[in-house]
Structure 1
Amino acid sequence: MSGLKLFNTRSGVTEVAPQLAEVEADVQDLVEAHMETMLGVRFLASEYSTGPVHGGRIDSLGIDENGAPVIVEYKRGTDAGVINQGLFYMAWLMDHRDAFRYLVRDRLGADMASRVLWSAPRLICVAGDFTRYDVHAVREHRHSIDLVRYRFFGEDHFGLETLASVAGRTAAPKAGRRRGTAKAQRTATADGAMAELAEAVDEALLGLGEDITKVENKTYTAYQRLRNYACLCPPQKAKVLVYLKADPATVDLVPGFARDVTSLGHHGTGDLELQLQSERDLERAADYFRLSYAAT
């Protein structure tokens, strides 16, 4: 995987060679059984039929942390058709929204079905490898697409590596492409200082890497790789709230700045809450941001 080497150090040092699956179903079964942990997506259905007219089966259907529909397609090795196949199913999905809502309602309840985020549908392609043409091609499409390379390492380890993650044109763009709408919304709900602080937080979160997708939800803005690593809430009168995926047990929980909200209800995703009131708070939040980004 991109030069990554894994070694077993229990008895000396022995390299664990990366391997492809024997059959595609081995990858699909493993990911579907642990989809929320691996991809940040709640599993809905396997081999979902698109009906006799369309004549296809979607490998996996799910819904991500922000409520966006997700199609996952798998290939054992390198297959030039995986992206086009996924987009074929994406077109069907966008034309059959009621079918997806019914599926979500049956699996997760009516409330979740009513909150499907149709502005940011996603395609995740999991394969043994991709060509440079694949990586280029995803940047030319209007949907959010993630290219994820897998490898088995012996019998006990499985690795996923994101090669490309592109925001769709129907979702909020990546760094530097949009500021006006979000800024207007934030300014309407907070004073100038907090609105400016929220803009600075936005820039800091987007500046962590080039593989970031920004998704606007009704109650928060999500910053996502394969999974959310941060959620920024609209600024309040005296503070800006950010929720991170960093483990609260591994960081300093400073009263009035950082707290564990594992058992508390809140908007967005993540168990670590940061309360920012000034540029100084943003500076000390930088390490927390990087830790959360690395965790996803």
Structure 2
Amino acid sequence: MNIGELSRLSGLPVKTIRYYSDVGLVPEADRSPAGYRRYDHDSLVRLDFVRTLRELGLDIATIKRVLERGEDLGAVAAAHAEALGVQIRVLRLRRAALRAVSRREPTPAELDRMTRIARAGTDERRRIVDEFFDSIFAGIAETPQAAQFTARMRSVSPDLPDDPTDAQVDAWIELAGMLREQDFRARLQEMSKRSFDPGERRLTPTDMSEISWFTGHIAEHMDAGVAPGSPAAVPVVAAVLTRWGVADEDRDQLIDQLTLAVDERAERYWRLMAVINGWPPIPATMHRWEWFLNALRECRGPLA
């Protein structure tokens, strides 16, 4: 068949077929007496194969190696699939950044920051997280308990999967921005220092069952409409202080500790981590702590 017939059967333009012939991908089977290219059925099969590989994104040089040198097509396909996976992940991050931009009106500096976050690869994301931890753990007392705590925190750092969902990408964009906030870092650094200060007596519980009791206790009264400054809040606060063993004279110290610890960003950090790492959703409880802190401040006088 001539090149026109091959074009009709394959659906490819004559110009494309001629180019593939010139570079050796689909050489003609013969030449007519007048010098025109002639092709056979094998040429059509080879042309379909070349077109398929081109549609999959393989370049001319790679296809030529597969056809002429017998290079393992499976290995070539695997390598290109991995490269496409990287491109897809980058595009998802960029799309998430664009969505974030569309939801707000960022300053030029914020836009630049979001763009750099979206372009960050695995190593860069790890560097952002490590640098964040380095900053908040700087200066804390060097004790076995502190070392164990910092190691545990680093072990549960955000780990964006190779094939993240849109929600995971959005969560990473938000979290990466939060990790760069200097006032958030300073707050966490102060919390870390106090946690391991031998002269600081912690008045709030660390046991999860106690924390669960607390949030349930506060939720019961919050959801019933009890305001933190109302007389009805007094016995609610008193029950908590009695259970925790906090005396009236220690109330100001407890207020000081909670003022530092009650920060929506700290809870948001863990909720974003849950999305990124594929953990079960973490319920919001910080508003319960805020209610209790406000009640502590406003319910002055004996609580008994």
Shorter chain as normaliser: what TM range? under 0.3
Bigger helix fraction: 2
Compute the TM-score of the two structures, normalised by the length of structure 2: 0.25
Compute the TM-score of the two structures, normalised by the length of structure 1: 0.26
Structure whose CA Rg is larger: 2
